[in-house]
């Protein structure tokens, strides 16, 4: 369970950027979480809520976008979205959709990216 | 009056760790140290395997012993008279590149050529954290059950070498070690999988040879 350390890093990043941009409040945070990370988005969301208390982040809407897996197949050179089996949970085994090979290079799906934040600032600062 | 502004952040927490990991590998390369990240289940025999490798391999070896409380494993390695740094992860379930970088400062990197980094016993969290090692060895044992691989596919996808330990106990615990091998192969077709029993020394030489091949390829 490393969602807590990830959530801490996210909060630190967001508050840092907000401060640098003279935010009075953070309205919205968009985070990208790759399908291949060992992060459960709902746990991340819960922990962000806990860590946000008494900070500029307290009332922000948290948007978590799950990033699907993109691959380059080492067998047939296919590049694009992967097939992921094991659909009963989110721990995907990655397959090439063209040749069904598992020997693939992962291009996307491993990120935990703070993408954007929406902040409220006073007109004088703007 | 207030206005709403959108700020592009694009700060990937994973990338931050990966960057640190690359820095770690550079530091290792500058000191001509080859590093093996040893990950695996709790109680699968990671520490025992590293102890045996320290005794058998013809290298100047150092160890980073990562654990929730690291002094127990670190104490075992110290008995083999090699430089050891214990890393306490406390609440954390994995080592990360930042912790490993700290350990480098306490290791005589100039005096060693092979570094084992023993990760916290866990098949989930270490997947997300590269450390800067040159290879990753995953150690599991039959006593965790022969469905262990199926349940934790991602750690095997990234593995360079897989050890299935305690095969002498397979019958006693009703585990099919061949199934475990084929499960790994399904996820990672090219990886070498070695069945071992550190008690009977079955497969141990093969593990040692496999690591040597990786070192010589580097």
d(CA B177, CA B157): 18
- Select the residue from A5, A33, A57 to test the B interface by mutation, using most B Cβ atoms within 10 A: A5
pLDDT digits 0-9 by tens, B87-131? 888 877 888 999 999 999 999 999 999 999 999 999 988 888 899
CATH of the domain at A97: 3.30.2320.80
How far off is chain B from A29, nearest CA to CA, in Å? 10
Angle at B112 between CA B107 and CA B117, to 5 degrees: 60
A43 within some domain:
yes
Q: In this complex, how many residue pairs, one in chain A and one in chain B, have their CB atoms less than 8 Å apart?
A: 107
- Beta-strand ranges (E) seen in chain B are 2-12, 34-40, 61-67, 84-88, 114-118, 135-141, 161-165, 192-195
A114 within some domain:
yes
Residues 40-99, chain A, touching B (beta carbon < 8 A): 86, 91-94
Contact residues for A111 (Cβ-Cβ < 8 A; gap 6+): A32, A33, A34, A37, A67, B12, B14, B15
Structure tokens at B43: 């109680």
Q: Which domain holds residue A41?
A: 3-120
A91 within some domain:
yes
H-assigned helices in A21-68: 41-52
d(CA B103, CA B28): 12
pLDDT digits 0-9 by tens, A21-42? 999 999 999 999 998 888 888 9
d(CA A100, CA A110): 21
* pLDDT tens sequence for chain B (218 residues): 678 999 999 999 888 889 999 999 999 999 999 999 999 999 999 999 999 999 999 999 999 999 888 888 999 999 999 999 998 888 778 889 999 999 999 999 999 999 999 999 999 888 888 999 999 999 999 999 999 998 888 899 889 999 999 999 999 999 999 999 999 998 888 899 999 999 999 999 999 999 999 999 97
d(CA B29, CA B20): 14
Q: What is the mean pLDDT of chain B?
A: 94
A97 within some domain:
yes
Sheet holding A112-122, edge to edge: A61-67, A25-34, A112-122, B2-12
Bridge partners for B161 per DSSP: B137, B192
Number of domains in chain A: 1
Pick A123's closest partner by Cβ from B1, B15, B153.
B1
Specify the pLDDT at position A125. Answer: 53
Pick A120's closest partner by Cβ from B4, B11, B153.
B4
pLDDT digits 0-9 by tens, A70-109? 999 999 999 999 876 554 444 456 778 899 877 788 899 9
B92–A117 C-beta distance less than 8 A: no
> In the CATH scheme, what architecture does the domain B14-217 have?
3-Layer(aba) Sandwich (3.40)
pLDDT digits 0-9 by tens, A42-57? 999 999 999 999 999 9
- On whether any CB of chain B is under 8 Å from the CB of A9, the answer is yes
A17 within some domain:
yes
What are the residue ranges spanned by the domains of chain B? Answer: 14-217
């Amino acid at each position: 369970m490393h969602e807590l350390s990830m959530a801490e890093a996210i909060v630190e990043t967001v508050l840092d950027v907000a401060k640098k941009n003279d935010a009075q409040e953070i309205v919205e945070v968009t985070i990208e979480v790759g399908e291949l990370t060992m992060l459960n988005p709902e746990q991340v969301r819960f922990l962000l809520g806990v860590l946000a208390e008494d900070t500029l982040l307290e009332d922000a809407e948290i948007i978590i976008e799950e990033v699907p897996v993109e691959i380059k197949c080492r067998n047939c050179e296919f590049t694009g979205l992967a097939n992921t089996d094991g659909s009963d949970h989110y721990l995907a085994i990655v397959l090439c959709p063209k040749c069904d090979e598992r020997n693939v290079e992962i291009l996307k799906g491993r990120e935990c990216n703070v993408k954007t934040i929406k902040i409220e600032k006073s007109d004088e600062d703007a | 009056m207030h206005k709403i502004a959108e700020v592009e952040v694009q700060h990937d927490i994973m990338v931050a760790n990966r960057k640190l990991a690359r820095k770690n590998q550079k530091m290792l390369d500058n000191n001509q140290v080859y590093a093996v990240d040893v990950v695996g289940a709790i109680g699968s025999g990671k520490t025992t395997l590293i102890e045996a490798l320290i005794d058998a391999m013809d290298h100047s070896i150092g160890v980073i012993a990562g654990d929730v409380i690291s002094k127990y494993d670190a104490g075992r390695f110290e008995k083999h008279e090699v430089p050891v740094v214990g890393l306490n992860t406390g609440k954390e379930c994995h080592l990360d590149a930042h912790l490993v970088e700290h350990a480098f400062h306490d290791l005589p990197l100039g005096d060693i050529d092979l570094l084992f980094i023993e990760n916290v016993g866990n098949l989930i969290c270490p997947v997300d954290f590269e450390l800067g090692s040159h290879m990753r060895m995953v150690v599991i044992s039959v006593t965790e059950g022969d469905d262990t691989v199926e349940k934790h596919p991602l750690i095997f996808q990234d593995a360079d070498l897989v050890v299935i330990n305690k095969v002498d106990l397979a019958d006693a615990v009703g585990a099919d070690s061949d199934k475990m091998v084929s499960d790994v192969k399904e996820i990672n077709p090219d990886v070498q999988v070695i069945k071992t029993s550190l008690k009977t020394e079955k497969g141990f030489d093969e593990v040692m040879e496999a690591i040597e091949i990786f070192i010589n390829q580097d």
